[in-house]
Structure 1
């Protein structure tokens, strides 16, 4: 397959299709940094320079490409999305950038491309040239054709292409080299067209199981009474299911100190006490924090009395008829004691309480080890090791503490490359006299790119269709 690419960016299509043995005849990119990426990897010329002879030529403005660049088998492009995006003014085809979608079709006809692959944001499905109607349609990208998209589709048909379109999310597309897809939610509209026959386009983009509309098989009605808290939710049987093992952790509380309970006690009103007598607690494996001693002795956290230590909650796996607090299942060793810290690092005071749910507002503390010296406490490292269950003393040089006030960092360019399916440092190319590129243009180029795994999936299905056509298994 010989293809041309417009609005090429950093060429997700070529990254996706090179393993198929397809050959790019030309690129078309007008921005400087993406063009520098293409020049570095494919020997392309920069915009305004003479077309490359020993690399892939970059035509720059694709509206100026003439019929001499063809014929080609396929034209691929993701024309600018700003005119259709819900984050923009949504001028649609009234925006010159929106009209580039129609210029793309005109170029496909000039080059006599048999296939077209076009990509854009889901906002194209609700874009409207009428401003008032656009406001009503902002929430309507549910697959219904907007006036702008309907206009675009009418031009696709007028140019002689049968077509199919579909919204694909990159996080679910698993192909070779991308067995786990990519770790980002990236929904995009893809349109595939074939000259003269919509069925071939539909066979590429749509899957049979998504077209039948059959309802799921009806299951027989279940029998029996739903289990208590110790039983599985939605399944018959208790926690000793021979096929599945322990399905739901056992619960304790309600003032019953002799073992697990079957009926959950009622929750108290907000601000009232929470303890073993009036609440229900579910025992389960939890992350470990230092052992805090017990009421009869043992090492405790600094300034922790025996009364406080006696009330600490212990969460662990339940084995046999009773508690097995050991980590190795032998009944020996240090119990796993997950608790949360209160208090401040300025004074070595510890306030143990029920662990809270993580919240966006008033974020919880992050715990890790610190060292004590003559100047007070010092953070050991920026990398925080997992806290371990162990005995501590007030005189120990190293204690386990907490630190608050951290914020979520921004992604690095190399992580954005992985999100889009590119190799590490693909965009870290020589730029403006330096051997490496700054982060800013790398972020922009990657954000404007297509996801490589999505393009690989479409290319593979077109390749299969081409082979079936050449083998005569599909009528012309």
Structure 2
């Protein structure tokens, strides 16, 4: 069967990239940001189905669809916690999802938000959402899902809510006392209709940050010598230089002199932290790399002068500066463990090395090992961390979307790999309903 879906708060189409790959057809999308819309059009053949501000669109004008998907911005409900259900959500962007679902009655919904939604306002905001979804006729299930378990090296925890219009009530079997378990107990106490979704049970990390790094990047992505020296000094003082045979990235520093100078981009297992929304400038995750150090030394050179007959007229010894190179590398071969250097991306034999000159001041030498250059992740690397392809990123760059906007778009996106895994579980639910002849459009329900 063909999955017809709509994508709200579409961004750059993280849901769409995954669902289209599963045979889905997007019949409507909405995005208000002009740069995200520009990217969306570049990614999806002009995206004639893309519309603007969802608050200005009549629900009756939206095509019929099987699934509604969206990662909605989280806003505090004005009277959260007073159990007013559907009416309580008015004025929030979540209300737009509820408004459309109440009218169009899609069979399923897949919604995404930050993990903190579960505990926002003591849990009252999420409780209100659960009540609203129940009010408009949906059974719900939700889970915290981490992107690092789905083939990308990013520690990105997000809450996903699956809503099924026709599911029979099933109690949750809640165990543990983490934020997800606490939220489920609070939701059950509301008496809302719940069911048990067939969540993928991934719990292994299979990708490392080094898998997404570009071999060479432009100089504009590197920190200045002064900032690098200050950062390394802070890391060493705090004992936060990472030691990792797997990825060897620099440790974590947050809030030096009131500024987030460097975000840690790797745990000892080589997994990046969450790409921040609006990631650019000093808040962009950074990595440390090896480089070739040029050191000035001196040697004595003899200067001689002869006359036209070849007779020696004068001789002088001069100090002449010499430039010698010293490549700083990480060597992890078992036979040379004493040569291992921590805190940098590894270079393979034959790979072209970074070359610096003392005059250009592109790097910093601490005066002892290890030595680092530190750079931001590139926009393409951030898109890779969200499961987008290089071709997708490059198409958006070619459309004229700036570095800063592409950083922001990666931070705002959903991880494509996660949506693909969830989509594989959604489609069988639709297929089962279609086979039993229970698939209803709003018109059929009214009849």
What is the TM-score when the length of structure 2 is the normalising length?
Answer: 0.53
Pair 98,15 (structure 1): closer, same or farther in 2 beyond 3 Å: farther
When the two chains are superposed, the root-mean-square deviation of aligned CA atoms in Å is 4.1
SS of corresponding position for 2:55: helix
Larger helix fraction of residues: 2
Query: Among residues 139, 148, 153, which one is paired with 1:183 in the alignment?
Result: 153
Where do residues 39-118 of structure 1 align in structure 2 (5 Å cutoff)?
A: 39-44=41-46, 55-66=47-58, 67-81=60-74, 83=75, 99-118=92-111
Q: What residue in structure 1 maps to residue 239 of structure 2? A: 359
Q: What residue in structure 2 maps to residue 408 of structure 1? A: 374
Using the TM superposition, give the Cα deviation of residue 373 of structure 1 relative to its aligned residue in structure 2, in angstroms: 6.9
Q: What residue in structure 1 maps to residue 417 of structure 2? A: 453
Pair 198,125 (structure 1): closer, same or farther in 2 beyond 3 Å: farther
Name which of structure 1's ranges 186-195 and 67-76 shifts more when overlaid on structure 2.
67-76
- How many residues were matched structurally? 279
Using the TM superposition, give the Cα deviation of residue 108 of structure 1 relative to its aligned residue in structure 2, in angstroms: 1.4
Q: Is the 8 A contact 1:36 1:429 kept in 2?
A: no
Q: In structure 2, how many angstroms separate the alpha carbons of the residues matched to 1:447 and 1:11?
A: 13
Using the TM superposition, give the Cα deviation of residue 23 of structure 1 relative to its aligned residue in structure 2, in angstroms: 0.2
Query: Among residues 439, 464, 469, which one is paired with 2:403 in the alignment?
Result: 439
Q: Is the 8 A contact 1:70 1:112 kept in 2?
A: no
Query: Among residues 112, 119, 122, which one is paired with 1:119 in the alignment?
Result: 112
Q: In structure 2, how many angstroms separate the alpha carbons of the residues matched to 1:369 and 1:93?
A: 59
Q: In structure 2, how many angstroms separate the alpha carbons of the residues matched to 1:190 and 1:467?
A: 21
Pair 208,453 (structure 1): closer, same or farther in 2 beyond 3 Å: closer
What is the TM-score when the length of structure 1 is the normalising length?
Answer: 0.50
Using the TM superposition, give the Cα deviation of residue 378 of structure 1 relative to its aligned residue in structure 2, in angstroms: 3.1
Using the TM superposition, give the Cα deviation of residue 361 of structure 1 relative to its aligned residue in structure 2, in angstroms: 7.1
Q: What residue in structure 2 maps to residue 419 of structure 1? A: 385
Unpaired runs of 5+ in structure 1? 45-54, 85-89, 129-136, 138-145, 174-180, 211-355, 390-400
SS of corresponding position for 2:144: strand
Using the TM superposition, give the Cα deviation of residue 101 of structure 1 relative to its aligned residue in structure 2, in angstroms: 0.8
Query: Among residues 11, 16, 19, which one is paired with 1:14 in the alignment?
Result: 16
Using the TM superposition, give the Cα deviation of residue 91 of structure 1 relative to its aligned residue in structure 2, in angstroms: 7.7
Q: Is the 8 A contact 1:192 1:205 kept in 2?
A: no
Using the TM superposition, give the Cα deviation of residue 406 of structure 1 relative to its aligned residue in structure 2, in angstroms: 2.9
Using the TM superposition, give the Cα deviation of residue 171 of structure 1 relative to its aligned residue in structure 2, in angstroms: 0.9
Using the TM superposition, give the Cα deviation of residue 3 of structure 1 relative to its aligned residue in structure 2, in angstroms: 0.5
SS of corresponding position for 1:147: helix
Using the TM superposition, give the Cα deviation of residue 453 of structure 1 relative to its aligned residue in structure 2, in angstroms: 1.2
Deviations 1:113-160 (A, max 9, x none): 1111111111111112xxxxxxxx4xxxxxxxx111111110100001
